[in-house]
Amino acid sequence: FDQAYILGCRLDLVDMEQSLSVIKRFVEERTPHQVVTANAEMVYAASRQKPLRDIINRAHLVTLDGAGVVWAARFLGHRARERVTGIDLTLALAELASKLRWRLYLLGAKPGVAEEAAARMVARFPGLEIVGTHHGYFQQQETAEVVREIKEAKPDLLLVALGAPYQEFWINRHLAELGVPVALGIGGSLDVLSG
């Protein structure tokens, strides 16, 4: 697929179907991959913040999450077909996971929210295996424990809802140790899915 550079960030011009097939390959490869859904706010922040830009440019897949970035890509002459948002990707991946028996772990949002989101996702996609949840308001010194819990749950897919761009930094920092095949930042999606 084609790529666009917007304010120094590499964006992958994938539609939902292509995103799912690329992520499926990541899961099958078993090595850790970071997936970012980038909206205009994140791209703008990255243009002013090299550490964030580096994370986006090294991520294994960066989708266009929003009308602003799709517009910008088209303005630059690319054929950006559709946006691939965190919430849409989360739902599509949950459905795929229920069919392919991938293990999901949900990290983030206020206490109770990830559990509620998990219950609703399982009701919607029967057979979906959610192997763990953890809220996103742990202290710095609790991080090692959270990482250990996720590792022990052995998810194929880790959805991280700590808010952008903090979740991108968090995934980047812990991805190798976590050893999960795919970690994806999903912003406020668990709040949406829980209620």
Nearer to ligand UDP, 27 or 62 (CB): 62
Which stretch, 16-24, 28-36, 92-100, 103-111, contacts ligand UDP (CB under 6 A)?
Answer: 103-111
Q: Which is it for the CA torsion 155, 158, 159, 162, positive or negative? A: positive
- Residue located via tokens 């939902």: 16
Q: Does 116 bind ligand UDP (CB under 6 A)?
A: no
Residue 67 CA to its chain's centroid (Å): 18
**Phi then psi for 3, rounded to 5 degrees?**
-130, 150
**Phi then psi for 133, rounded to 5 degrees?**
-140, 155
Q: Which is it for the CA torsion 72, 78, 82, 84, positive or negative? A: negative
State the nearest-atom distance from the C-beta of 107 to ligand UDP, in Å.
8
Which residue in the shown chain puts its C-beta closest to ligand UDP? 136
State the nearest-atom distance from the C-beta of 121 to ligand UDP, in Å.
15
Q: Does 187 bind ligand UDP (CB under 6 A)?
A: yes
Quick one: which of 61, 106, 128, 161 contacts ligand UDP (CB under 6 A)?
A: 161
Residue 133 to residue 116: CA distance in whole angstroms: 10
DSSP state of 142: G
Q: Does 137 bind ligand UDP (CB under 6 A)?
A: yes
Residue 174 to residue 32: CA distance in whole angstroms: 10
Residue 160 to residue 182: CA distance in whole angstroms: 11
State the nearest-atom distance from the C-beta of 29 to ligand UDP, in Å.
27
Q: Does 188 bind ligand UDP (CB under 6 A)?
A: yes
Q: Does 66 bind ligand UDP (CB under 6 A)?
A: no
State the nearest-atom distance from the C-beta of 12 to ligand UDP, in Å.
19
Residues near ligand UDP (CB under 6 A), total:
13
Q: Which residues bind ligand UDP (CB under 6 A)?
A: 108-110, 136-137, 161-164, 187-188, 190-191
